Structure 1
Amino acid sequence: MEFLNPIAILVAAISALVVGFIWYNPKVFGNAWMKAAGMTDEQVKGGNMAKIFSLAFLFALMLAMAMPGMAIHQMGALSLIGGDSSSALPSYVAFMSDYSDAFRTFKHGALHGVMAGIFIALPIIGTNALFERKGAKYIFINSGYWIVTLGVMGAIICGWK
């Protein structure tokens, strides 16, 4: 069974930009984020948007490539045999025959993505924000974005076989 679906990884990476477009829209959290981050309209519009979006997509692609290990349980079974299923014992083949689709749903992937957002993104953003002297609103807006984004990415990666 193939766990790395390159199309799903690409779509998951693109989803980060789509969620960001909605999340940071001025009608959603954009204005509150700018105030909490200490940003002005001129600062936001003054950046090199091609560079910003290119790097944001690259980082999202990196996250999407890491998501199968967090959201697909069968990756753990594959790692136990060293990652090369061609040399696996018959017991591995039988196990994967029985369980290759277990918990491979959008819902289950979303759960793992949300958990990654809560237990990985939130502490990282929160720690940085504390040292940057940013408030709780800044932490919750940015962490909320990553919790939702990783949930969407997890759903895509895990559910799209």
Structure 2
Amino acid sequence: MEFTIHFATINLLVVFGATVAALLLGAFWYSPAFLGKPWRKASGIPMTGNQMPNPAGTFVAGFFFQLLAASMLAALLGPTATGLEGLQLGMLLAFSFVMAALGVINLFERRPLVLIFIHSSYHIVSFGLMGFIIGQWS
């Protein structure tokens, strides 16, 4: 099996843009306009107020982790991938690895099954979006 990671050819501007796009998607995904209410209910987060103790630190760390995922996706895609190939690889990685990991964690923590759906579907769509952006514009 031949496997190559293309770190030298990563377009950092595109990776940054893909990261921001995924974070904006997350802002919508977990907003009351979409899945925010069922997510808060299933997570036990109060429906009123912001109970996050350090929102700035949380968002900075979230950005870092999303940037890490986008960077690795770019490295796996390489410099010749298309938008469609990026979309497919991103969704495949999230569906297989992320959803499996979230599923195991949520099951052992005895969390509601709806959390697996909410979190996994976000990651499948966000990884697909990042992959499309990276493949299309790298």
Relative to the length of structure 1, the TM-score reads 0.75
Counterpart-to-counterpart distance in 2, 1:62 and 1:30: 25
SS at match of 1:134: coil
Residue among 2, 17, 29 paired with 1:23? 29
Q: Does 1:46 align with 2:81?
A: no
- In structure 1, the gaps of 5 or more residues are 75-100
Q: Is the 8 A contact 2:86 2:135 kept in 1?
A: yes
Deviation for aligned residue 1:143: 0.4
SS at match of 2:33: helix
Residue among 100, 104, 129 paired with 1:127? 104
Residue in structure 1 matched with residue 19 of structure 2 by the alignment: 13
Q: Is the 8 A contact 1:33 1:138 kept in 2?
A: yes
Q: Is the 8 A contact 1:71 1:113 kept in 2?
A: no
Normalized per residue, the structure richer in helix is 1
RMSD: 1.7
Change (3 A) 1:119 1:70: farther
Kindly provide the amino acid, as one letter, of the partner of residue 128 in structure 1.
I
Counterpart-to-counterpart distance in 2, 1:61 and 1:68: 10
Residue in structure 1 matched with residue 71 of structure 2 by the alignment: 65
- In structure 2, the gaps of 5 or more residues are 1-5
Q: How does 1:1-161 map to 2 (within 5 A)?
A: 3-42=9-48, 45-47=50-52, 48-72=54-78, 101=80, 104-161=81-138
Counterpart-to-counterpart distance in 2, 1:34 and 1:135: 11
SS at match of 1:152: helix
Deviation for aligned residue 1:160: 1.0
Counterpart-to-counterpart distance in 1, 2:45 and 2:61: 20
The runs of at least 4 consecutive aligned structure 1 residues that moved more than 3 Å come to none
Q: Is the 8 A contact 1:9 1:65 kept in 2?
A: yes
How many residues align? The count is 131
Counterpart-to-counterpart distance in 2, 1:122 and 1:71: 20
Deviation for aligned residue 1:12: 1.2
Kindly provide the amino acid, as one letter, of the partner of residue 107 in structure 1.
L
SS at match of 1:27: coil
Determine what percentage of the aligned residue pairs are the same residue.
31
Larger Rg: 1
Q: Is the 8 A contact 1:16 1:153 kept in 2?
A: yes
